[in-house]
Amino acid sequence: MRILTLAGRRLAASIPTLVLILIGVFVLLQFAPGDTVDAMMAQMGGGDAATAKQLREYYGLDVSAWAQLGNYLWRLVRLDLGFSAIYGKPVATVIAERLPATILLMTASLSLAFFFGLIFGVIAARGVNRWPDTLISTLGLVFYAMPTFWFGLMAIVVFAIYLQWLPAGGFEDITVGLTGLARTLDIARHLVLPTLTLGLFYMAIYLRIMRGSMLEVLTLDFVRTARAKGMDETRVVVRHVLRNALLPMVTLIGLQAGTMLGGSVVVESVFSLPGLGRLAYESVIQRDLNTLLGIVFVSALLVIVVNFIVDLLYARLDPRITTGG
């Protein structure tokens, strides 16, 4: 119960942050030249001033920026994300069409990064200053220093073009019309390269954090006491060291949820994935303010949900959080 109370307080405290983020993005976009109507007119090949005026009145762009912000926040209270003039449908529908690809990419990448970062971090810490530690640390440095867009392009060249093992891009093969398990496997094949591209960068971070945390916990008194009692080394690591060493890793997941969303913009563009990252890029280029604000709102909600789960896990791993110790 105390864990839920703590997480509830954190969740309530994040609401003002969400509102401030939306206001900040809205204000920043006001400094950009042009608006949605200008982008629409450019797509149509031009138009007269009267048409532009009518479109601005229709989409509510003829009032002041603060009035537009007030109208948007009022609609948001009623869970109305507005209408996308560029895509010609409600923003909620546009985002719902793109959200699954981003969630699948983030979940797969985060799972890969966390699992292998944990495993390699433990192996490096157990073999510190020996060849496993040197090899893992070197590979981690390479993956961390490698630009994601370059790695993605090289992965396409090697695995999609040269070896022809995996598709070069897209979310699924729309020409076949697969359903059920066959469609699931097809989507999984399309996500292999994007997941590796995004996940290996974060795996490099996690393995270094896990290695340092393991080395620190291994020197603490309770570990020496467990060893003095004759406990097996593997049991010491699993039952005592691992639980305490996981705390920085769990914290990092919450901190990097937003960063991973930002990184998905590059990955989705390289692999032509129809996700939120690519949609955000298209919305900025086309000055689709409603869609962009809707993406920011949904992305902020995703980060809040991830941090909510992280708070629960952290309190579970460290009982001092709920007891005030």
**Three-state secondary structure readout of 158-213:** HHHHHCCCCCCCCCCCCCCCCCHHHHHHHHHHHHHHHHHHHHHHHHHHHHHHHHHH
Q: What is the pLDDT of residues 155-206, one digit of tens each?
A: 899 888 888 888 888 887 777 777 778 888 888 888 899 999 888 888 888 8
- Residue 130 class from Cβ within 10 Å (0-12 exposed, 13-18 middle, 19+ buried)? exposed
User: What pLDDT is recorded for position 317?
Assistant: 65
> Does 1 score more than 60 pLDDT?
no
Range with the largest mean pLDDT of 16-25, 77-86, 87-96? 87-96
Q: What pTM was computed for the model?
A: 0.78
- Domains of the chain, CATH where assigned: 1-91 (no CATH), 99-322 (1.10.3720.10)
Average pLDDT of the chain? Answer: 78
Q: Are β-strands 83-84 and 89-90 bridged in parallel, bridged antiparallel, or unpaired?
A: antiparallel
> Does 282 score more than 60 pLDDT?
yes
**Are 37 and 53 contacting, i.e. CB atoms less than 8 angstroms apart?**
no
Range with the largest mean pLDDT of 187-201, 205-219, 245-259? 187-201
How far apart are the C-alpha atoms of 316 and 325, rounded to whole Å? 14
> Does 93 score more than 80 pLDDT?
yes
User: What pLDDT is recorded for position 265?
Assistant: 78
Greater pLDDT, 84 or 65: 84
**Are 207 and 136 contacting, i.e. CB atoms less than 8 angstroms apart?**
yes
How far apart are the C-alpha atoms of 60 and 112, rounded to whole Å? 45
How far apart are the C-alpha atoms of 279 and 282, rounded to whole Å? 5
Lowest pLDDT segment from 129-138, 236-245, 270-279:
236-245
Q: Which SS3 state, helix, strand or coil, does residue 84 take? A: strand
